[in-house]
Amino acid sequence: MVLYRNNDALMCKISSTTLQGEAQDWFHTLLPRSIQSFDDLSLVFTKEYSSYHSIKKKPDHLFNVKNNPKELLRDYVKRFKAEKAKIVGCDDLIASTTFQQGLPADHPLFKELIMKEDLTLADSFALAEKHALWDDA
């Protein structure tokens, strides 16, 4: 990394490849274009982990993550992903189920999710993205 210290974009990309587990999950919850330089990334990372005490959350924590009535679907997905990232080794089936249960029963995405069998969490997020695009139209 010393060779590329003058290239912020490359430094950010290289540093992200060194992260593992919860830190890597956290990195992927950062908003696009929210980091402008390697110094920004360092500051955000330090704020997140300098006083970090590993408070182990269990997968059932995700049952508390609900889509608020006035919350956009994309915001719910982003918040859900951030909460899931706090759970090391979270089972996809549990996460997928809790994601679905966090939606209101009258939400079109909820109705679509319950009609499909064997959806992975990635499949659920992909369907959510389609619904979020429809909401924007």
30 and 97 co-located in one domain: no
107 in a structural domain: yes
Residue whose structure tokens are 């659920």: 124
d(CA 44, CA 41): 5
The pLDDT value recorded for residue 32 is 80
d(CA 57, CA 88): 8
d(CA 90, CA 5): 35
Tens of pLDDT, residues 13-49: 788 788 888 788 888 888 887 888 888 888 888 877 7
What CATH code is carried by the domain that includes residue 82? 1.10.1200.30
> How many Cβ atoms from other residues are within 10 Å of residue 29's Cβ?
14
68 and 92 co-located in one domain: yes
54 in a structural domain: no
The pLDDT value recorded for residue 131 is 87
22 and 89 co-located in one domain: no
pLDDT at 67 over 90: yes
109 in a structural domain: yes
Q: What is the count of structural domains for the chain?
A: 2
> Which structural domain range is residue 93 located in?
59-136
75 in a structural domain: yes
65 and 130 co-located in one domain: yes
Whole-prediction pTM: 0.59
43 and 71 co-located in one domain: no
Q: Which range among 30-39, 91-100, 119-128 shows the weakest confidence by mean pLDDT? A: 30-39
73 in a structural domain: yes
d(CA 91, CA 39): 34
65 and 14 co-located in one domain: no
79 and 117 co-located in one domain: yes
